[in-house]
Chain A
Amino acid sequence: MSEPTTRTAVQPTASGWLQAWLPRLVLAPSVAVSLFFVYGFMLWTFVLSLTSSRMLPSYDFVGFGQYARLMANERWWVASTNLMVFGVLFIAICLVIGALLAILLDQKIRQEGALRTIYLYPMALSFIVTGVVWKWLLNPQLGIQAMVQSWGFESFRFDWIVNPDMAIYTLVIAAVWQASGFVMALFLAGLRGIDDSIVKAAQLDGASLPRIYWRVVMPCLRPVVFSAVMILAHIAIKSFDLVVALTGGGPGYATDLPATFMYTHAFNRAQIGLGSASAMLMLGGVLAILIPYLYSELRSRKHG
């Protein structure tokens, strides 16, 4: 409202000109950095993905040949399938645990603060630390399996980490351990934001507590679920450290994810072209979840 008055107040002098342009000058380096390091680099990686680069970037264009090679690469399919399995389980389990714990914690619990602190602390750790710890816990000779066996359950087996068919689920366990407390915090904040009168009204109507949560409270938490899914999907696609520390992508390449596939090919196997192509597909994956998100955000803002 006061914009026009402010503008006329500025004298058309050199210092006035400086004042008018200063905000833009302050922003300019950040904009330049973001144009170059984000947009420029994305384009650059795309260009690299169209070349036959191996050890060093070369600009010998081969069209979409690297993408075709990627599609024919069995290891890439293992990595992509793993991401689907890991992503779906990780997101679903985090949501269930997070929602459940938030609802239980919202029942006027004593020591709620202490419990919340315990549930959430893994989020402060590096995925490398998480991986190192869980690698130790899941070690068949010395970890959980050995402990349960020492209690007298001799036939107990929990050797997923060395089993190519099951190792991907150890990633899910460790990642859920790290992130589910955070989802709990999101849900709890959402629950605290709900108007009590809606719940009271449902109670007066004689609805049972589980029914109230399922039919009345959960629909109010739709935006929370939505954000949580976005964040978790983002974590899943970017998962790199956890795989490196927990399984190293193994046994064999049974727990490779696109993020580790990209790194291995671009940095260790002298396959820069192929690695770039896989990075572009990862970006595509992120955009595929991000664009619907931004679209719905903008739409809800216009309506609201």
Chain B
Amino acid sequence: MANVIRRQTPAARLLRVVLYGVLIVAGLFYALPLIVMLMTSIKPLSEISAGTLLSLPQNPTLEPWTKAWGEACTGMRCEGVGGYFWNSFAIVIPAVLISTTVGALNGYALTKWRFKGSELVFALMLFGCFIPFQVVLLPMAQTLGWLGLSSSRAGLILVHVVFGIAFTTLFFRNFYVGVPNELVSAAKLDGAGFFRIFWRILLPVSAPIIVVSVIWQFTQIWNDFLFGVAFSAHNTQPVTVALNNLVNTSTGVREYNVDMAAAMIAALPTLVVYVLAGKYFVRGLTAGSVKG
């Protein structure tokens, strides 16, 4: 259809070919590392030393995956990354749920129940989005010790909630600003209370921002390494820390296929989220970082 409408001179057609060429080369630049990672993860070790990055697997095997999941050594222990994978979930799920709930209530209170100083409260909390976390590491370590939460999953959940609510509050606040006040005012006149209005009026329209907030928090916390490495012990480590240990543990032959399989395992949950809900992922990235 487009071809019929557009006048196609040879020069324009050539330009079009070049255009697609550049876009595809760029696509390869982004896609190839993942493809190489996937191919390497199903090659036996002998094929890796004999072939090159792009040689196709001749005898594909899932052995590196099972080894990465259940046997590979991460530091002193050789139990694979499987347990740490579930650790990550045990940390991520409560942290995402709590921070999203708190963020929703904060955003609601800040927009629909404005009071003197509510803008200041928002600005105060927003700053938490910007600090380099190195500046809180040492006091956090000591505070977790006092609370008896050192090296525990609960401690990591607390850390992620504390530093996540700045973002979730920002998401919900910016979203609720756009929800008309008339309905809320009418409900207030009818005598509806704080939680009732939230439950009946705001929550039913919040689905898009809840998705954005959950996805943002999920990827942030799943991909976290700094807090994980600073505040966990061997049995509470998230998968990112275990992956890094696995890759840096040297026991005899370097098994690159196992390394890549472990990296795939650590990457899969966020990749799945991205593929299923990419639109919301992008919205979170831009909302979280662009608009104040």
Contact = CB atoms under 8 A, between A and B. Distances in A.
A5 B189 contact: yes
Contact of A124 (B49, B193, B219): B219
Given A42-B131, A136-B40, A227-B289, A147 B30 contact: no
B177 interface: no
Contacts of B169: 30
A27 to B, nearest CB: 5
Interface in B10-68: 19-20, 22-23, 26-27, 29-31, 33-34, 36-37, 40, 48-49, 52-54
Contacts of B131: 38, 42, 283, 286
A72 B140 CA distance: 28
A240 B2 CA distance: 48
A146 interface: yes
B256 interface: yes
Interface residues of B, number: 93
Contact of B226 (A124, A241, A275): A241
A144 interface: yes
A244 B244 contact: yes
A267 interface: yes
Contacts of B289: 227, 230-231, 234
A216 interface: no
Contact of B223 (A40, A127, A279, A294): A127
Contacts of A5: 185, 189
Contacts of A3: 114
A147 B52 contact: yes
Contacts of A78: none
Contacts of A143: 53
B31 to A, nearest CB: 5
B243 A276 contact: no
A270 interface: no
Interface string A53-71: 0000100000000000000
Contact of A2 (B181, B222, B281): B181
Contacts of A117: 275, 278
9 contacts: A23-B115, A42-B135, A57-B142, A108-B2, A129-B243, A136-B259, A240-B134, A263-B134, A286-B132
A208 interface: no
Given A23-B115, A189-B286, A142 B49 contact: yes
A124 B281 contact: yes
B210 to A, nearest CB: 18
B90 interface: no
Interface residues of A, number: 96
A117 B271 CA distance: 11
Interface of A: 2-3, 5-6, 9, 19, 22-24, 26-27, 29-31, 33-35, 37-42, 44-45, 48, 57, 97, 101, 104-105, 107-109, 115, 117-129, 132-137, 142-144, 146-147, 150, 177, 181-182, 185-186, 189, 227, 230-231, 234, 237-238, 240-241, 244-245, 248, 258-259, 262-263, 266-267, 272, 275-276, 278-280, 282-283, 285-286, 290, 294, 297
A266 B138 contact: yes
Contacts of B115: 23-24
B129 to A, nearest CB: 9
Nearest to B222: A126
A34 B185 CA distance: 30
Interface string B115-153: 100100100110110111111111110110000000000
B290 interface: yes
A33 B138 contact: no
